[in-house]
Amino acid sequence: MGSEHTHDPVLVAEVTAHLRPGTGGVFVDATVGLGGHARALVEAGADRLIGIDRDEAALAEARQQLATVADRIDFVHADYREIGQELQSRGLTEVRGILADLGVSSMQFDDPARGFSFRQAGPLDMRADRSRGETLAGRLATVDEATLADVIARFGEERHARRVARSVLRARDEGRLTDTGALASAVRRAAGGGTWTRIDPATRTFQALRIWVNDELAGLEQFLDGAIAVLAPGGRLAVIAFHSLEDRIVKHRFRERAAGGAVSLVTRRPVMPGEDEIRRNPRARSAKLRVVEKMA
């Protein structure tokens, strides 16, 4: 796994402008991924950066990509919802700024062995952290139709959820659910409706299953509260979401915390990439950045 991964971090200029690392201090990149945002924050003046990621492969890659500034970065293998404990164990009680980019890294999607992609056959895994937790195969082995349909409807916003769940479990019971290729076929049979052009019918269900396996939405609320707790007064938290479920959670949690006086909203509406960035990096298309500032 060399450095062949081209990872274009989204909204870099906007993140840097809002987090203001030029004032120095300690910053956290809670989803360091391949290190694009981390590099920008350090180069713009952060004295020290804590780079957290639950994917050990991504951390190894980030170490390589950030070798030239590594003396100012602590690389931490942890889930971002453990931000409080991880900072405490490093003797830090508060930080100047925190970023979380909620997108799944291109590295995870592009490696069939991770099981995220419906385009290439791979194992039914989908865990962001392969050192713990149950694989997708383990979950699908025991799940019932009603539960699976609920997961697909809630996390994938798939309107044929019941039909998809039935098709997937039929494939499982007949011993055909061997890899992500077989899973994608079972989903397409139920969700495709015969013709589809723009987006693969497996897209929504694969998103739903990934969120389910990694407990992403419950973890997000926990992270937002933990992150606000460790910000210094005047410090800022910036979050980039890529789908409506995540963005809704971020928006509501930020508004709740602002109403309670813990933070103020720096962005009233989400900051989106401009046309130039989308042209350069089509994956940026759905990115939404929201920022809050901790009240004194």
- Give the burial class of 50: count Cβ atoms within 10 A of its Cβ; 0-12 exposed, 13-18 middle, 19 or more buried: buried
**Final residue in a domain of this structure, among 214, 236, 266:** 214
Quick check: is 3 in a domain? Answer: no
- Rounded to whole angstroms, the maximal C-alpha distance in the chain is 61
What does the mean pLDDT of the chain come to? 93
pLDDT of residue 7: 64
Is the domain of 53 the same as that of 26?
yes
Question: What's the structural domain count of the chain?
Answer: 2
Instruction: Indicate which CATH number applies to the domain containing 267.
Output: 3.40.50.150
User: Quick one: pLDDT at residue 197?
Assistant: 61
Contact 34, 283 (CB under 8 A): no
Read off the CATH number of the domain in which 130 is found: 1.10.150.170
3-state secondary structure of 282: helix
Residue 20: domain span? 12-107+216-294
pLDDT given for residue 27 in this prediction:
98
Q: What is the pLDDT of residue 5?
A: 39
Bridge-partner residues for 48, per DSSP? 26
* pTM for the whole structure: 0.91
Query: At 136, phi and psi to the nearest 5?
Result: -60, -40
| Residue carrying the six token digits 């419950």 | 218
Looking at the fold, whether 210 and 146 belong to one and the same domain comes out as yes
For residue 70, is it within any domain? Answer: yes
| DSSP assignment string, 164-219 | HHHHHHHHHHTT---SHHHHHHHHHHHHS-S---SS-TTHHHHHHHHHHHHTHHHH
Are both 58 and 88 inside the same structural domain? yes
CA dihedral 266, 235, 81, 36 (to 10 degrees): 80
d(C-alpha 214, C-alpha 126), whole Å:
8
Q: Is 202 in the same domain as 227?
A: no
CB of 72 within 8 A of CB of 47? yes
Considering the domain architecture, whether residues 30 and 94 belong to the same structural domain is answered as yes
Are residue 207 and residue 220 in the same domain, yes or no? no
Do 168 and 246 lie in a common domain?
no
Does residue 97 sit in the same domain as residue 232? yes
Three-state helix/strand/coil letters over 53-121: ECCHHHHHHHHHHCHHHHHHEEEEECCHHHHHHHHHCCCCCCEEEEEEECCCCHHHHHCHHHCCCCCCC
Query: Same structural domain for residues 167 and 252?
Result: no
Q: What is the spatial distance between Cα 28 and Cα 199, in angstroms, rounded to a whole number?
A: 35
267 domain residue, yes or no: yes
Cα(87)–Cα(187) distance, integer angstroms:
42
Residue at a domain's end among 195, 214, 233: 214
What local confidence, expressed as pLDDT, does residue 195 receive?
58
- pLDDT under 70: residue ranges of the chain: 1-7, 193-197
Does residue 253 fall inside a structural domain? Answer: yes
